[in-house]
Chain A
Amino acid sequence: MIFATKKIAVNAILAGATGLFCHISAWAAIPIQHWTLASGAQVYLVESPAVAMLDVQIDFDAGSRRDPPAQAGLAGMMAGMLDKGVQARQGAPALDENALGVAWADLGAQFGAGASADRLNFSLRSLTEPDLLDQAVALAARGIAEPSFPEPIWQRERQRMQAALKESYTRPASVIGRAYAQAVYGAHPYGQDVTEATLARISVVDLRAAHAAGVVACRARISMVGAVTRAQADVLAARLLSRLPQVPCSSLPPLPEVAEVEPLTQPEEKRIPFDSAQAHVLIGQPGFKRADPDYFALTVGNHILGGGGFVSRLTQEVREKRGLTYGVSSNFSPGLHAGSFTVGLQTRPDQAAQAVALVHQVVSDFVANGPTEVELQAAKDNLMGGFALRIDSNGKLLGNIASIAWNNLPLDYLDTWTQQVDSVTADDIKAAFARKLQPEKMVTVILGSSL
C-alpha cells in the first residue's frame, strides 16, 4: 500500500494500540489530502507510489433510497446501463457497448458503476503508465457524463433482470431477505422491493433523468489511492468530472429530504413455507445512522455479540456449543438512515425453533447485561491489534477513504480509530445497545419446509 513513512505511521499506531511502545509520533498519520475542485467536488487522496496503479471511487447522493416507490430499482438499473454506450459529444464519436468493452479491455483498466441504498458510485482501476492512465481517465469521464441509454439495450437488460428476479424467487436467501427488509423498514425506501412490475415502469427517459439528477459534479466525493502526486490527482479528478455540467451547487435546488426509518412498535413473526433443505432465519430491527455518536460502542459491542467471527457469542452458542449452523452472525448496517441490526443463520428445519429461541436469548441477555470485561478486552485486542489489516492494500484503503469522504469524518479518523475503540467501556456498550435495540419488538422471519 503506502510508502515508507506511512508504514512507520501505521507501525506507530499499532505500537500505541498494543502498548509495546510509549510514544506515538506526533506526525504519525495516514496522510489523507483533501481539497475542493473548482466545480465544488471534494477530493480525498492518499499517495501510494509503491505499485504503479491508481484506484478511484466517486460517490454521489443518488442511491436507491431516492428511487420512486413505483420504480424501485431505478438507481441500480441506471448504474447497470452505464457501460452500455456513450453518446457522441464534443468531437468524440459515440461508442456502443462492445466498443466500450473492447476499449476498457485494451487499456487493461477496470471501470464500473453501482448503486447501494445511499450511494451511486463509479470506480476506476488503472495502471499509471501515463498514456494508459490518460486514456482511461478520458474514457471514464465520458462514461460518467455521457451515457447513451440505448432503448433496445434497456429492453434487453430489463428482460434479463426480470428473469433473474423470477429465479431469485426460488432461492431461499433472496426470498427471506425481501420479506425481512419489508418487515424491518416498512414503507421506508431502504425496504423497497424491486419487482418485475417496478422495473416495467422504468423507461430510458427515467434512466436519463435519474442520471442527470444524481450525477452532479459539485456534489461528487472523489476518493483516490495510488501512485499519483497531489498535483496529478488534482488534474485527474477534474478531468473525470469535466464533461458534466459545471454548475455550482449554490445555484441548484437542494436534494429532497428522505424520511427516517420508523422504529418498530411491536414484535412480528413471519413464517414462510419454502421447499429447501435448510430453514433460514433473520431476526432484527432498525439499527442506527452512521453519524450516531454511539458508533464505536455499537461497533465494538457487535464484534463481541456476533460480528467477530469464530469467537463471537453467537457463534460460540449456536455453532460451537451446539452444532446448529455453519454460519451465524449479527451486524449493523448504518447509513444515512438507521440501517438494520440483523442476526442471520441457516439450520436444518427441525432445529429452527431451537435456534431462534437461542438467538433471542443471547441477544436479550447482551442488551440487558452488556459484555463482560474479558469479552471487551478480547474484542479490543482483536480490533486494535488488527487495525493494520484494515488498510494494508490500496483496495482496502480506498474503501476507508471513501467512507471518510462520504460520511464527513475527520481526516484523522484512521489515526484515532484505535484510540476510539480503546476508550469504549462495557457500560458504554450496555447503554448504547439499550438505546438502540429493543429485543421485545424485533422482527423474526423463518423460512423453510415443515416448520
Chain B
Amino acid sequence: MKHARPVHLKPPVAFSKGLTTLFLASLLPVALLTGFSTAAVAQPAVPVSQFTLANGLTVIVKPDHRAPTVAHMLWVRVGSMDEVDGTSGVAHVLEHMMFKGTPTVKPGDFSRQVAALGGRENAFTSRDNTGYYQQIPAGQLETVMRLEADRFANNRWPDEEFTREIEVVKEERRLRTEDAPRALLSEQATALTFLAAPYRRPIVGWMSDLDAMTPGDVRDFHQRWYVPANAALVVAGDVDVAQVRALAEKYYGAIAARPVPVRKPRSEPAQAGMRRLEFKAPASQAYVTLAFKVPKLEAADLAGASSAASASAPGSRDALALTVLAAVLDGYSGARLERALVQGQGPDGRIADSAGASNGLLGRGPQLFRLSGVPAAGKTTPQVALALRQQVALVAQGGVNEAELKRVKTQWVASETYKLDSVFSQAQELGSNWVQGLPLDANTRLIAELRTITAAEVQAVAARYFGDDQLTTATLLPQPMDPQRKPRHPNVAPRH
C-alpha cells in the first residue's frame, strides 16, 4: 500500500562504502523534507549550535537526550561534481580508501575499532558532497572523533590496498548501474542533459575511468579537497555542546588550515531545443523520463529571507512553486498523475503502470524537474510522455485548487514531526543544509517560504518551464534477454 508520501527535494542517489547503508540513499531526501506549521502540533524547538574552529572547520551540534546514542558525521563539500574528465568517480573511490588506514591505524582497523565500541558506520558520496558517519553509544564519542579526524588529515595506504579496492568499486558499478537498465538510462540521459555542468558525469564514474584510475589520482584528490575549511562536523544525540566543542578543538582543531581550492563555475550553456535519447537494454517494460531545466532555490535567497519578507528573487520563488507543483502531481496516493495515467480516468483509458514527478529545488549544480512513467500494456512511451505533459498543461490552464495546495502542505507539516523520531536523520539534514550553504534554521525558513506560494504561482510555473526547448526526453527500449551473449564489458585485468 502506498503511503502518502512527502516530496523528495533531492534525487535519491548516493553511492556508499557498503551495502549495509543502501538505506541511506532513501534517507537522504528526508534530510530536506519541508513542512508547514499548522495548528497541529508544535514541537519544542531543540537548539542547534554552530561554531567554526580556528582552522576553518565548521562544527554543528544538536543535543537530543531521548536515547543514549550519538550520530557523528563528517561532511566534506566535495562530490562527483568537483571531479574532472578522466578521473570520474575519484571522490567515491577516495571515500572507499578512507577506510584503508593512516600511519597509526592499519587498513581495516578503523572499522574494527568502531565495531568494538558497539558502533555502526558507513560513508556515502553524492554529486555535491562526501559524508562519513558512525552511530555509537553515548560515551564513545571521543574515540570516533579521534579516528575520523586522523583519517581526514592523514589518510595513507599502500598501493596494493588500492589495487584490491578499485575492483570492489567496479563491482559496485556493475551491481548498481550496469545491471540496472533504468540506472544506465539515467546515467546517459544526465550526460545528454548537461554538456558543461559537471553533473553530467556519473557519481560512481565511467568504467573506463575506473579502469584507468591510479593511486595517485586518489591521493591528489584527498590532498586537494580535504581541508578543514571545506568540511563540517555534525554531532547529534546524547551530548552537550561544551563537551563536543572541547573534543572538536582537541582532534579536528589540530589539523592545519589550508585554503579551499578555487571552484570554477563550469556553467551549463543555454539549451535551445529538445534533446532525445533512446537506450536499448534487456528489459520487459519500457520507461520514459522527461527532464526540464528549471531554476533552483539559491541559498542566499533563503538565508536572506526573514519570516516577514519572502525570498524575492524570481528564480527562487519559481523553484519553490515547482516543488509544490511536483507534490500536487505526485505527492500522495490518488494525486493527479496517478488518477490520470495509472487509473485511467482520461478518455484514452489506462496509459501507465506507474508515473512520477519530482523537482530538484536545491543543489550546488543546476536543477531539473523530472516526469517519468512506465507504459501500461499496449501503450507506448510517446503516449506516456504526452499524458505526463498534458497533466502539467492542465495546471497551466486551470491552476490547482486550494484543497490540493493545503493537502501537500499538511503532509509536509506531519513529516516535520515524524523526522524528529530519528536523531540520525536530523544530523543528515543539518549536514546537507551546510553543504548547500544554508543557515541552521533553513527548514523553518523553507517552510515559511513554501507557505507563501500561491495557487497562481504554481499555475504560472506550470505554464513557464515545460516547453520543448529545455527538455531532455530519454526512453528505455526493452530488448529480449540473450543468455548466451558475451559479457557486455570485456573483463579487464587489474592494471595496478
Contact with B along A175-187 (1 / 0, CB 8 A): 0000000000000
Contact A101 B41 (CB under 8 A): no
In the assembled complex, the Cα of A347 lies from the Cα of B65 at a distance in Å of 43
**Residue in chain B with minimal CB distance to A17:** B118
User: Which residues in chain B, 405-423, are within 8 Å of chain A measured between CB atoms?
Assistant: 406-408, 410-411, 413-415, 417-418, 420-423
Partner of A388, one of B67, B165, B168: B67
Asked if B243 CB lies within 8 Å of chain A CBs, one says: no
Interface centre among A20, A53, A107, A275 (most CB of B within 10 A): A275
Docked Cα-Cα span, A394 to B350, in Å, equals 40
Considering the complex, give the chain A residue whose CB is closest to the CB of B119.
Answer: A386
- Chain A, Cβ-Cβ closest to B178: A277
Residues of chain B within 8 A of A50, CB atoms compared = 66
> With A and B bound together, what is the CA distance between A194 and B58 in angstroms?
52
Among A108, A387, A388, which residue has its beta carbon within 8 angstroms of that of B414?
Answer: A108
Whether A105 contacts B137 by the Cβ 8 Å rule is no
Is A310 on the interface with B (CB-CB < 8 A)? yes
| CA gap between A308 and B66 in the complex, in Å | 26
Are A274 and B481 interface neighbours, CB within 8 A? yes
Q: Decide yes or no whether A97 CB sits under 8 A from chain B.
A: yes
Inter-chain contact B417/A51, CB cutoff 8 Å: yes
Scan A141-175; emit 1 where CB is below 8 A from any B CB, else 0. Answer: 00000000000000010011001101101111000
A298 within 8 A of B: no
With CB as the reference atom, state the residue of chain B lying closest to A84.
Answer: B1
A359: CB under 8 A from chain B?
no
Once the chains are docked, how many angstroms separate the CA of A319 from the CA of B139? 31
Whether B4 contacts A101 by the Cβ 8 Å rule is yes
Tell me how far the C-beta of A106 lies from the nearest C-beta in chain B, rounded to whole angstroms: 6
Within 8 Å CB of B165, what residues of A? 323
Cross-chain contact A167 with B3 (CB below 8 angstroms):
no
- A385 and B410 form a contact (CB under 8 A): no
B46 vs chain A, min Cβ distance (A): 11
Instruction: Using A114-B1, A323-B168, A389-B69 as known contacts, say yes or no to A104 and B333 having CB atoms under 8 A apart.
Output: yes
B334: Cβ under 8 A from any A Cβ: yes
Question: Considering the chains assembled together, what is the distance between the CA atoms of A3 and B354 in angstroms?
Answer: 42
Nearest Cβ in chain A — how far from B349, in angstroms? Answer: 10
- Asked if B377 CB lies within 8 Å of chain A CBs, one says yes
Whether B333 and A2, one on each chain, are in contact in the complex, defined by CB atoms closer than 8 angstroms, is no
- Closest B-chain residue to A348, C-beta based? B491
With an 8 A cutoff between CB atoms, is A260 at the interface?
Answer: no
Q: Closest Cβ of chain A: how far from B321's Cβ, in Å?
A: 20
Given that A97-B333, A167-B285, A388-B69 are contacting pairs, would A378 and B115 also be in contact in the complex, using a CB cutoff of 8 Å?
yes
Answer whether residue A326 sits at the interface, using C-beta atoms and an 8 A cutoff. yes
Chain B proximity mask over A16-35: 1 for CB below 8 Å, otherwise 0: 01101000000000000000
- What's the Cα separation between A434 and B55 when bound, in Å? 56
Q: How far is the CB of B23 from chain A (nearest CB, A)?
A: 12
B1 and A277 contacting across the interface, CB-CB below 8 Å: no
> Of B333, B350, B481, B488, which is within 8 A of A101 by CB?
B333
Determine how close the nearest CB of chain B comes to the CB of A105; give it in whole angstroms. 4
Count of chain A residues with a beta carbon within 8 Å of a chain B beta carbon: 94
B4 touches A110 (CB 8 A): yes
CB–CB B41/A127 < 8 A:
yes
A170 touches B171 (CB 8 A): no
List B268-321 residues whose CB lies under 8 Å from chain A: 282-285
A52 touches B (CB below 8 Å): yes
- Please give, as numbers and ranges, the residues of chain A lying within 8 Å of B377 by CB-CB distance: 159, 163
Which residues of the partner chain B approach A450 to less than 8 Å between Cβ atoms? 486-487
- Shortest distance from the beta carbon of B184 to any chain A beta carbon, whole Å: 10
Which residue of B99, B112, B332, B413 contacts A102 across the interface (Cβ within 8 Å)?
B332
Tell me whether B19 is interfacial, beta carbon within 8 Å.
Answer: yes
Q: B119: which A residues are within 8 A, CB to CB?
A: 382, 385-386, 389
| Contact (Cβ within 8 A) A388 B283 | no
| Of listed A17, A105, A316, A329, residue having the most chain B CB within 10 A | A105
Say yes or no for B175: interface residue by CB 8 A criterion: yes
Contacts of A159 in B (CB 8 A): 353, 376-377
Task: Spot the interface stretch: A61-69, A75-83, A248-256, A289-297.
Answer: A75-83
Flag if B168 contacts A326 (CB, 8 Å): yes
Interface range, B side? 35 or more
Verify A2–B66 contact, CB threshold 8 A. Answer: yes
* Interface residue? B250 (CB, 8 A): no
Residue of A whose beta carbon sits closest to that of B331 = A105
Known A2-B66, A392-B69; judge A156-B174 contact (CB<8 A). no
A381 at the interface (CB under 8 A from B): yes
Residues of A within 8 A of B343 (CB): 97-98, 156
A93 and B396 alpha carbons, distance in the complex (Å) = 34
Contacts of A309 in B (CB 8 A): 18, 20, 111, 115, 120
B393 within 8 A of A: no
CB nearest to B420 among chain A residues: A51
Task: Give the contacts of B12-43 with A (CB-CB under 8 A).
Answer: 17-20, 40-41, 43
Contacts of B179 in A (CB 8 A): 171-172, 276-278
The answer to whether B441 has its CB under 8 Å from any CB of chain A is no
Residue of chain A at shortest CB distance from B413: A108
B164 touching A323 by the CB < 8 A rule?
yes
Q: CA separation between A205 and B327, bound complex, in Å?
A: 36
User: With a CB–CB cut-off of 8 A, which chain B residues contact A83?
Assistant: 1-2, 333
User: With a CB–CB cut-off of 8 A, which chain B residues contact A386?
Assistant: 117-120, 136-137
Contacts of B140 in A (CB 8 A): 385
Instruction: Say if the beta carbon of A449 comes within 8 Å of chain B.
Output: yes
B338, chain A: closest CB distance, angstroms:
8
> Which residues of chain A in 317-373 are interfacial with respect to chain B, using CB atoms and an 8 Å cutoff?
319-327, 329, 346-350
Could you tell me if B332 and A319 are in contact, using CB atoms closer than 8 angstroms? no
Given contacts A53-B417, A323-B165, contact A385 B116 (CB under 8 A): yes
Scoring A3, A106, A349 by chain B CB atoms within 10 A of each residue's CB, the highest score goes to: A106
A349 and B487 contact, Cβ closer than 8 Å, known pairs A101-B4, A112-B1: yes
CB atoms of B422 and A395 under 8 A apart: yes
With the chains together, A101 CA to B116 CA distance in Å? 46
Asked if A230 is an interface residue, CB under 8 A from chain B, the answer is: no
B residues at A contact (CB < 8 Å): 1-4, 17-20, 40-41, 43, 65-69, 99, 108, 111-112, 115-121, 135-140, 163-172, 174-175, 178-179, 181, 238, 282-285, 331-335, 339, 342-344, 350, 353-354, 374, 376-377, 406-408, 410-411, 413-415, 417-418, 420-423, 478, 481-489, 491
Show 9 residue pairs from A and B whose CB-CB distance is below 8 angstroms, ordered by the A residue.
Answer: A7-B67, A83-B2, A98-B334, A101-B333, A105-B407, A127-B417, A167-B283, A310-B99, A310-B108
* Additional A-B contacts beyond A52-B41, A97-B334, A278-B175 (14; CB < 8 A): A2-B66, A82-B1, A100-B334, A101-B2, A105-B4, A105-B333, A109-B414, A127-B41, A127-B414, A159-B377, A166-B284, A323-B164, A323-B166, A346-B175
